[in-house]
Structure 1
């Protein structure tokens, strides 16, 4: 498959009436500051017939007039604070073509090949990028990337749904809540948890050099990105096994993460006395009181950490791992989010701190879990119907799991699992059969 990029342009918002000022800015919220300063790319595939590129371009420009942040740039506001500058400098829009039918390029999976379907993620000034790749059969692949500092997955998926509606001539919705000042500290502040160790770290110098940025060059040699499919039947049995003896069963998510954590730990061949940890992203919208509106545009994510000795994780039944995960996630509640806001709102203290995000592509012996199970990615419709394939781009971060609903639409789940090249495959049937006896 040969993908040729035919044009690349900058698109700016199209406003009805007089355009707004391009000197305004939006200061980053405390949650934005804890997020990743990197582009996250996803891939959609749409079967023929699909609307022309001009429709998607115009729809994008219209929705950018509502979601202005994407057309801006990261910078510093007039008060010296990190901010999104609403300067309407625009987003990257690339048109491309492939020399075959989409069926000939199947199956699409997270490999280096899918990097051809979106612009480069390195050194990107634009906060949003789009690439439309047309196939000989009339099918289309959309490559879409955004800077995570601007918005989390929930907010980004709302934007995508709104873009689809604009392309179909419908009212733009959901309309975003753009006020990032809603997260205010309590009076007096009450910091109850160790946020400097969890969400932030000191801007210290190591061997005369500062910590590398998350965008530092790295080698992904030896990392293979597996795609494991978990059927609804398998998930039902796994949930029942993990919840045996409990009045209130563990969720499907908790059960599957417990299973994957154990399977990956076993496949890695870790020493029994080592400690392994799983980090789980937690959406705060429904955990805070009062709840953060569904339409809020920005980041509202913190992390839960569950740890265990390898020996205990593998020798205890799956309920052991599920309980540790459940307990860890339960602790990231309203109290924790409010404590974080109080801590991160102290601007004087934050001057010496920076994001505690991982800089390495090797999380060994730990695991990082991103759940995309509740995002309405399959609600994206430009006028030719919903996508029939959705997947993240190639992201060879060893140990970083992404869970997403299968395109089959029957409740099954796909797990994207980047690991070092292993002798045995991480298939759901083999892993379950192996671990069911441990």
Structure 2
């Protein structure tokens, strides 16, 4: 039963860049093959939970915070201007989807309240379902960005805290781009707290890592790609997840170091990374919890950032999608008969082999026969999908309230076997894993000695 209070929306408005987008290159943002493949996936939904200052450092703390968040968001979308746009599809005979950065109401900003405490959010064993209400665009797919804002921010005031949640269209950004935007927003917020930019003028505040909006296309392709469809019903599907428990498991820096040492020792190597070792542990233990037949194929997919693997490399500031699901595969029997190191080495080889050639081959095949990821078909019911990354700087975004207490996500892109990785709050190589499993499988995982003894 859902017995907790409900989130109440107080107000909403739209935020646009404070200066006109005069340059013609800024009116239209074309989408690459890796962007267009995301049209049927959900928006990215991630956010940060903060503790209110105690006592509040200002009698009108929340009003001041909201005003500064709106102002800094307006200045942020000046840099990340596609986020204030909308998707547009050209009429037949060609069928192309792109971003109109000009003819749009802008990004959305929602103020909401909830009569719960930060402890009510952080400390239950499972992530409370009310967290899904901290995000706008619940269950929206990216194609809905024709009518919905491509960025929607919801600020939810709790009794003793504040949650800042963003829903960002996944056709425009991957996790690297998402957290780059969040970082720039926090940076601009911090600049506004000083006196330098508080004279009321809307200026373009410089940021340390300006986004690069030129989309990557293979030679001879783009920028406008014709899709082989006549109507979006041919490539859009609405995925509904089964009933899932979501639980966050915390791995200390020490426990991660032990896993890495064990995996490398068992494989007689020094090449296996901390995250590959952790992924192998999760893959093995979830597979064991599922009690699969020994000949059942099972996979471990990792969302790999292509930027540094391209030749020439794409800059980290590249704003768009540049990710690929790297896959290690075996049978359930083989995975569980061998140790952690064997599984970790399989993952390591898959990651090490992911290079410019593989990305280009994927894009070339996609251009020959464009397809859109269908979440229901993309999900391997016997596999594990490792999303997000503990490398993303999530806790560096402070918004005048100090370091966040935790990172949480919405309903989006979750299914049986989805694992979302966050850095641990204390840093130093610690990792939080948000694991989504049906209730009976989560109970089995919680009883798995190898898994629970590795925390």
Q: Same fold (TM over 0.5)?
A: yes
Separation in 2 of the partners of 1:276 and 1:122? 27
Separation in 1 of the partners of 2:235 and 2:365? 24
**How far did residue 292 of structure 1 move?**
0.5
Runs of 4+ in 1 over 4 A off after TM superposition: 17-23, 77-80, 201-204, 209-212
Give the 5 Å matches for 1:69-108.
Answer: 69-76=82-89, 80-87=95-102, 88-107=104-123
Does structure 1 conserve the Cα–Cα contact (< 8 Å) formed by 2:138 and 2:411?
A: no
Separation in 1 of the partners of 2:137 and 2:38? 20
Separation in 2 of the partners of 1:433 and 1:381? 32
Separation in 2 of the partners of 1:219 and 1:284? 28
1:417 matches 2:435:
yes
* Alignment correspondent of 2:361: 339
Give the 5 Å matches for 1:280-291.
Answer: 280-291=302-313
Deviation per CA, 1:202-231: give whole Å up to 9, x if none: 989xxxx977734x152523x212222222
Secondary structure class of the residue paired with 2:278: helix
Secondary structure class of the residue paired with 1:384: coil
1:136 matches 2:159:
yes
Give the 5 Å matches for 1:99-248.
Answer: 99-107=115-123, 110-123=127-140, 124=144, 125-137=148-160, 139-169=161-191, 171-173=205-207, 174-180=209-215, 182-185=216-219, 213-214=236-237, 216-221=238-243, 223-244=244-265, 245-248=267-270
**How far did residue 163 of structure 1 move?**
0.8
Alignment coverage as a number of residue pairs:
409
Separation in 2 of the partners of 1:432 and 1:103? 26
Does structure 1 conserve the Cα–Cα contact (< 8 Å) formed by 2:17 and 2:75?
A: yes
RMSD of Structure 2 on Structure 1 (CA): 3.1
* Alignment correspondent of 1:191: none
The answer to which structure has the higher helix fraction is 2
* Alignment correspondent of 1:11: 15
1:27 matches 2:30:
yes
Give the 5 Å matches for 1:231-380.
Answer: 231-244=252-265, 245-344=267-366, 346=367, 349-350=368-369, 353-359=370-376, 363-380=380-397
* Alignment correspondent of 1:42: 46
Does structure 2 conserve the Cα–Cα contact (< 8 Å) formed by 1:155 and 1:295?
A: yes
Does structure 1 conserve the Cα–Cα contact (< 8 Å) formed by 2:245 and 2:436?
A: yes
**How far did residue 34 of structure 1 move?**
2.6
Q: TM-score, normalised by structure 1?
A: 0.84
The answer to which structure has the higher strand fraction is 1
Separation in 2 of the partners of 1:428 and 1:35? 36
* Alignment correspondent of 2:57: none
Separation in 2 of the partners of 1:430 and 1:126? 45
Separation in 1 of the partners of 2:430 and 2:23? 45
Identify the match of residue 403 of structure 1 among 392, 404, 421.
Answer: 421
Does structure 2 conserve the Cα–Cα contact (< 8 Å) formed by 1:22 and 1:86?
A: no
**How far did residue 75 of structure 1 move?**
1.6
Separation in 1 of the partners of 2:336 and 2:325? 24
Where structure 1 has 5 or more consecutive residues not aligned to the other structure, the ranges are 188-200
Separation in 2 of the partners of 1:334 and 1:361? 23
